[in-house]
Homo-oligomer: A and B are copies of this chain.
Amino acid sequence: MAKRKLRGGMVGGGIGAFIGPVHRMAATLDNEAEYVAGAFSRDPKKSKKSGEELGIDPSRTYATYEEMAAKEAKLPADQRIDFVSIVTPNNGHFPASKTFLEAGISVICDKPMTTTLKDAKTLQKLVKKSGLVFALTHNYSGYPMVKEARNWVRSGKLGKINKVVVEYPQGWMSGMINTPGNSIGMWRMDPEIAGGSCCMGDLGTHCENLVRYITGLEIDEVCAELTAFVKGNRLEDDGNVLVRYKGGARGILYASQISAGEENPLAIRVYGTKMGLEWRQEDPNYLYLKDPAGLQTRFSKGNSNLSQEAQAAARLIWGHPDGYIEAFANIYREAFKGIRAVIAGKKLPECDHPDADDGVIGVAFIDALLASNKSKAKWTRMKT
């Protein structure tokens, strides 16, 4: 029998948004879900218009997410939404997530989970108590070859991990360096909306999550320098970090929005006592195994010699590139496994998606960076 389609709602993601459409394509790619409700903008008119364009029944396009949560919760079980996708700017993540969880609705939320560690812990507790699904879209862990990388580390192929280099340089703000006027209004640079960090909250947390996903390593201490190169930017647009992982591994983690000419080259290199590995997001269907004997082997997505997990995460066979949307859809697919269990009244199965615990760590990571930077790059312990 076909599984019934899950019903989704969306908070944010109206006309002109970047990440909203990604969520919609990702959630529906496998024909497992459809969006039936939304509060697409803080501007009720824009929300309404967005709903129309998306083919949402006008009665379920809401002016606010509070209204949406309240009204959806009262709908009969065979009509109300099974999950909500929260794709607002950062400061919307916490209140919206809290509201829907309290209304009994599972949440898929953009990162960072919250703008303060206190909120993050509140949410973490709430998720546990609720028994609902909370998935955080650190989407890069959705790529098949990232899953393969994790498998290599877990299986001992690399030996004990000694060093990790993770980088995420972007260059889109470099143009603003010379023409600051038109950019400072941007929400990512506004502490009220973005929280205490611009670049590291946006990009650095993906780095932290990717390292932990692949290697399992937890950060012990960080030593960070954060810089705002764009004039007028009250938050940093570049961050360089030395990292000490628990157990003795060392690392470099950096992110940037002023690395002129870089697009989105998130990359990770992991070095163990036996082997090294390398993965690059802009060429995501390949994973490289580096043998000290002088061989470098490229593994391809969708190939039968990969781990079961990596194979399952590929939608197409080798040579047929899976892209960003497909990886994003893997986060949803895993969340849907959990949501269906919730609906069926079953115990939550193990699902391979970032969750509230990851969210807390991500926010704690930002806090540690800010503290280290404030103390002039003193080694600062990460506290979760």
Contact = CB atoms under 8 A, between A and B. Distances in A.
A292 B261 contact: yes
A159 B229 CA distance: 13
A106 to B, nearest CB: 21
A244 to B, nearest CB: 8
Interface stretch (A116-124, A268-276, A363-371): A268-276
Interface residues of A, number: 97
A148 to B, nearest CB: 12
A283 interface: yes
Contacts of A240: 242, 250-252
Contacts of A170: 319
Interface string A265-287: 10001011111100001111100
Interface in A144-170: 158-159, 162-163, 165, 167, 169-170
Contacts of A355: none
A322 interface: yes
Interface stretch (A125-133, A184-192, A299-307): A299-307
Contacts of A299: 294-295
Among A4, A24, A159, A177, the one with the most B-chain Cβ atoms within 10 Å of its Cβ is A177
A298 to B, nearest CB: 4
Contact of A323 (B293, B298, B325): B325
Interface stretch (A52-60, A75-83, A85-93, A342-350): A52-60
Interface stretch (A38-46, A204-212, A375-383): A375-383
A70 interface: no
A290 B227 CA distance: 22
Interface stretch (A9-17, A25-33, A333-341): A25-33
Nearest to A263: B319
Given A290-B171, A297-B298, A162 B229 contact: yes
Interface stretch (A95-103, A107-115, A310-318): A310-318
Contacts of A324: 316, 320-323
B162 A258 contact: yes
B29 A55 contact: no
B296 A264 contact: no
A260 B242 contact: no
A318 B263 contact: yes
Contacts of A316: 22, 323-325
Among A54, A223, A272, A281, the one with the most B-chain Cβ atoms within 10 Å of its Cβ is A223
A319 to B, nearest CB: 3
A31 B36 CA distance: 12
Given A321-B323, A326-B323, A275 B252 contact: no
Contact of A261 (B21, B276, B377): B276
12 contacts: A18-B317, A162-B258, A174-B271, A175-B292, A223-B242, A262-B290, A264-B318, A264-B320, A294-B300, A297-B298, A323-B325, A325-B325
Interface of A: 1-5, 18, 21-22, 24-25, 28-31, 52-56, 158-159, 162-163, 165, 167, 169-172, 174-175, 177-178, 223, 225, 227, 229, 238, 240, 242, 244, 250-252, 254, 256, 258-265, 269, 271-276, 281-285, 289-300, 303-305, 315-326, 376-379
